[in-house]
Structures are given as structure tokens and as C-alpha cells.
Amino acid sequence: MQQYIIRRVLLNFLVIFLVATMVFLALRIDTTNVVRNASGACLGGAINTQNGAQTCLSITKAQLGLNHSLPVQYWDYLKKLAVGDLGRSFKSQNPVMGEIRQRVAPTIELGLLEIIVAVIVALPIGIISAIRQDTWVDYILRFVSIAFLGIPIFVIALVTIIVTSRFAGGTALPDWFGPHQTYYSLASDPYQNLKIMFAPAIIGGLGTGAVIMRFLRSQMLEVLRQDYVRTAWSKGLRERVVISRHALKNALIPVLTLIGILLGSIVSANIVLETIYTIPGIGNYVVFAVAQNPDFPVIQGIVIVVATTLVFINLLVDVAYGWLDPRIRYS
């Protein structure tokens, strides 16, 4: 086990290194636009003289650290990365690490709320759908889950905004389900914060819940067919005991790993919701960083941070899986 974990950690670092290299190279394919855009203020004054424009560009290039050759830049980048320094943002000149740290709280909060909503919804629905397999209850629940899986999250969000604002204008609903102009953090104003997070958490949670529900249903069906469940039935145990103690406990193990994997991808899953509901999280930040004028250090930083969380959560999930289900042996 120990050996397995050590090997996986080393492999994870290899993956992170590959990610860092790929994002670095992808960004360096075309730097002329970035330099030109970044030197806008300087160019404005010197646009008329060819020489002035050239000096402007080269000054900006040096400021952004793009004047060195590619291997030199790469080596510098890796050296900084090794000590956890992600460089400074092109736009704000602040250290990227600090900028990410500022914005990570709303993203994690939203992600956790989503998972909570998802689990609360998916657990009972998945169980009912499995123990009442192929009845009309099952069909309806499955149809709803397929709808939530298939219909894009931003479509659900926008339709909710339309419906609540058009048809419930006078009530409190638009306030709870609509986007807000200003953001309040959880620490500064918990009630306002809850209001802002409410709609995205519910909508994102239902989308995630549909994934969990489908998986739980198939796992439950699998477990309900096992011999030990039949034994439990034939011992004359009550349905509640068979379902909750014998079946659910075993069906939940793979579901827990799924929840872990979903937790690892909250950043990329929430980009759209953060944009619609104007939540200043990582997703919103990365869209801003990629949009008109790519902010290289920010993009690199976020991609590396996201990839790192993803691979290590996956490792945790695998280890937890072996711990919860001792039949699984890693070699």
C-alpha cells in the first residue's frame, strides 16, 4: 500500500509537470498579440514613429519576461514553480498565488454546497428508483435525472431567471434566484451570501445530483442481486434494514469515489454558473484571464492548481476506495 501511494504520488508529479509544460508551450505559440495589447498605453503616444513603436514593444516584452529565449523562459518558469511561485499577473502585477487564494473561497463554497444539495437529492431518489425498478416511479425519476443530465446547466439557470422574474415579479423569488450585482463573502454577510449562492448551488447541485443518482441506482441494482441481500431477505429482516444496512452500505462505496472525483472538478464545472451569477471565483477569474488579452501567468497558475487538486483528489479517492473495500488490492 505504502509503495503504491509513493508510486502514485511520483506519477502525479509527472502528470503535473506535463500539464505545466503543455500549458507553457501552448501559451508561447503566439505572443505578438499579447505584447501588442499590453503595450497599448505606451503605443498610444508613439504610434506615429516606427522606431517608437518598436521600442515600446520591446520594453513591454521585457516587462512581461517574454524577451528571453524559450528554453530560458521555461527553465525560469520551472524553477519558480518548484518553490510554489506562479509569477505575477500581466494585468494586475500581483502575485498569481495571492490572486488565486483570494478567489478560491467562493468557488469551494459553491462546490461544497452543490455537492451537499446533490447528495441530499440523489440519495433518496437513487434508492427509491432502484428498489422500485421498472415501475412508473422509477421511470419518472429516471426521466427527470436524464433531463437534468442532458439539459445544459446554463440553460436551466437562464430559464429559471426568466421564469422567476417574469411570473413571480412581486415576490421574493427573483431575489433568491436571480443574479446579484454585488458580492458579499460568507464572512462579511452570511445571509446575503446565502442568497447569492442559493440558485447556483441548487441548479448545479441538481445537475450533479443526476449523475450521482444514476450511478447510485445502478450500484444498488447490482448489490440487490447479491447473495447476502437474498440471505438478509430470507432471514425475515424488515425492508428498511435490508436496504439501509445490507444493500446501501455496499452500494455507497463506489458512489463515494464518484463524489470525490466530482469534488476534484468543481472549478471547471462551475465556470459557467460563476459567470451567470457573477460570483468572483476561480472560474470567473480564468474566463477574465483568457478572454481578450491572455494573462499568461494567471492561466498557467490556474491550470496547474486545478490539475494538482484533481490528480491528488483522485489519488485520495483511490486510497479511500481500497480502505473502504478491503477486497481491492493495489499493486
Nearer to another protein, 127 or 306 (CB): 306
Round to whole Å and give the CA distance between 36 and 279: 30
Task: Report long-range pairs for 194-197 (Cβ below 8 Å, ≥24 apart).
Answer: 196/277, 196/279, 197/109, 197/110, 197/113, 197/279
Round to whole Å and give the CA distance between 11 and 17: 10
Per CB under 8 A, which region of 70-78, 107-115, 120-128, 141-149 contacts another protein?
A: 141-149
Report the candidate in 86, 89, 62, 63 with the shortest Cα–Cα distance to residue 76: 86
Nearer to another protein, 14 or 241 (CB): 14
Nearer to another protein, 12 or 185 (CB): 12
Residue 3 interacts with another protein (CB under 8 A): yes or no = no
Quick check: helix, strand or coil at residue 88?
strand
Give the up-direction half-sphere exposure of residue 4: CA atoms within 13 A in the CB hemisphere. Answer: 11
Residue 161 interacts with another protein (CB under 8 A): yes or no = yes
Do 65 and 28 touch, CB atoms closer than 8 A?
Answer: no
Residue 251 interacts with another protein (CB under 8 A): yes or no = no
Choose, by CB under 8 A, the member of 158, 172, 241, 328 that binds another protein. 158
- Helix axis angle, 296-324 to 2-27, nearest 10°: 160
Residues 20-39 that bind another protein (CB under 8 A): 22-23, 26-27, 29-30
Task: Provide, rounded to whole angstroms, the least separation between the CB of residue 18 and another protein.
Answer: 4
Residues at the contact surface with another protein, assessed by CB under 8 A: 11, 14-15, 18-19, 22-23, 26-27, 29-30, 143, 146-147, 149-152, 154-155, 158-159, 161-162, 165-166, 178, 218, 265, 267-268, 271-272, 275-276, 286-287, 290-292, 294, 299, 302-303, 306-307, 310-311
